[in-house]
Amino acid sequence: MTVHTTRMLIIGSGPAGLSAAIYGARAGMQPIVVQGLQPGGQLTITTDVENYPGFRDVIQGPWLMQEMQAQAEHVGTRMMWDTILSVDLQSGPPFRAIGDSGDVYEGETLVIATGAQAKWLGVPGEQELGGKGVSACATCDGFFYRGKKVVVIGGGNTAVEEALYLTNHSQDVTLIHRRNTLRAEKILQDRLEANPHVSTLWHKKVERFLHDETTGALRALLLVDTITGEESEFAAEGAFVAIGHAPATELFKGQLELDDSGYIVVQPGTPKTAIPGVFACGDVMDHTYRQAVTAAGTGCMAALDAERFVAEREFEAVKLAAQAG
Ligand code: FAD
Ligand code: NAP
């Protein structure tokens, strides 16, 4: 077991965590980033990113995250291949976190940037058919459904992007949504409408995923009409659940205030939690905007506030020493 100490411990390596690292490293905080199970965060499971400032041409999500990591390392960030399993926020600073590796991480400040994870419908057959027809990531698994009939469930940006992306592999993509209006941005809705390979099925909820008795793989979805209550079967070989993401805050339950949806509560307009020295940034504290650029922005804010916190503590320590002397 190794103990790693730092002035700024960052949990999470998405745009929020890496932006905090870039600012923290440049301020001499010698940050440590614990990357977790998804190094680079959510943008590593998408393809085209068209709204991150600074790039006129379409860039790729995984590429953007590689660049952010390279920049963070270039200015002195230590990246750790580990996942935090528990944290102790009550007896800090230093705040202590224990990794899956058994290593211990101690940070004079803690920046929580654990982001969000895909939500599941929670209906029968969904988990059982994981890897056998049901997925939550078209860019990861879409290739396996080349030439097959696939569906996407959801009505937000993710669902529409996933449906459009899947047309690279399949000419028969259906978007299934529980209402008849989409939350997705207008530009994406326009692209969906213009794409001849995507159809829409409105007012339908998935009741159950049905498997083929011989192959054990997905064969159809049992749907219920949200207006009439009528049930129907819809044949498909691939189903992509794209109904949003839930904040990754399990670790902090009982130690930090969470809102009704599980997001970390911060002081309005800041990344400050109720515990001095503990900051939260990105999707883990933002249920409204949830964009790469806002995650990066709040990551920057967290680093600046962490730096001030350390400077104030050091100033106080010097003052006390001078008074004592
Ligand atoms: P995340 O990117 O979710 O990163 C969280 C990090 O925390 C991960 O590295 C994870 O491994 C780590 N972590 C979690 N738990 C632990 C733990 N216990 N220990 C250690 N590490 C942990 N936004 C845009 O602006 N433009 C887009 O085009 C766009 N496209 C998207 C496409 C898709 C398919 C999705 C899902 C999202 C998209 N978004 C887009 C939204 C954007 O990806 C998020 O807003 C952004 O990634 C949030 O950044 P974050 O750093 O807060 O969290
Ligand atoms: P979202 O905006 O929360 O949309 C979730 C969709 O899933 C909604 O249409 C919702 O239906 C539906 N849904 C939720 N629970 C459901 C259930 N149990 N059964 C059936 N349908 C259900 O999530 P998102 O699309 O993942 O986007 C998350 C954030 O990331 C957003 O802020 C988005 O802007 C951002 N993002 C941005 C981009 C981009 O900029 N290009 C791309 C992807 C994501 P209702 O509409 O009926 O509520």
- pLDDT value, residue 47: 77
Question: Taking a C-beta distance cutoff of 8 angstroms, is the pair 61, 15 a contact?
Answer: no
Task: Report which secondary-structure segment, H or E, holds 317.
Answer: helix 292-324
The single residue listed with the structure tokens 């590689």 is 66
- The pLDDT value recorded for residue 317 is 87
How high is the pLDDT of residue 137? Answer: 86
pLDDT of 166 over the 80 cut:
yes
For residue 250, report the distance from its CA to the centre of ligand 1, in Å. 16
pTM of structure:
0.85
pLDDT tens digit sequence for 270-281: 999 999 999 999
Same domain, yes or no, for 257 and 225? no
| pLDDT band, very low/low/confident/very high, at 130 (cuts 50, 70, 90) | confident
Whole-number Å distance, alpha carbon 119 to ligand 2 midpoint, is: 10
Domain holding 158, by residue range, is 134-241
Per residue in 50-103, pLDDT tens?
Answer: 889 999 998 999 999 999 999 999 999 999 999 999 999 999 899 999 999 999
CA distance 56 to 50: 8
Ligand nearest the Cα atom of residue 264: 1
Q: Tell me, yes or no, whether 103 and 70 share the same domain.
A: yes
Burial level of 103, CB count in 10 A (0-12/13-18/19+)?
Answer: middle
Confidence of residue 221 (pLDDT cuts 50, 70, 90): very high
Check if 137 is active-site. Answer: yes
Segment 250-294, tens digit of pLDDT:
999 999 999 998 999 999 999 999 999 999 999 999 988 888 999
Q: Give ligand 1 pocket residues (Cβ under 6 A).
A: 11-17, 34-39, 41-43, 45-46, 49, 51, 83-84, 113-116, 158, 161, 248, 251, 282-284, 290-293, 295
d(CA 180, CA 158): 16
Q: Which domain CATH number covers 88?
A: 3.50.50.60
The confidence score (pLDDT) of residue 273 equals 98
The residue among 186, 218, 241 that closes a domain is 241
* Ligand 2 contact, 155 CB (< 6 A): yes
Residue 41 has pLDDT above 90, yes or no: yes
80, β-bridge pairs: 34
Residue nearest to atom 32 of ligand 1 (CA): 46
Mean pLDDT of the chain: 95
Ligand nearest to the CA of 293: 1
Backbone phi, then psi, for 110, in 5-degree steps?
-130, 125
Residue 180 Cβ inside 6 Å of ligand 2? The answer reads no
* DSSP letters spanning 95-142: EEEEETTS-EEEEEEEEE---EEE-----TTTTTTBTTTEES-HHHHG
Amino acid at 153: I
Ligand 1 atom 46: residue of nearest CA = 292
Closest ligand 1 atom to 51 CA: 26
Total of domains in the chain: 2
Out of 212, 241, 270, pick the residue that ends a domain: 241
Three-state DSSP class for 33? strand
Do 249 and 112 belong together in one domain? yes
41 with 93, same domain: the answer is yes
Active site residue 141: yes
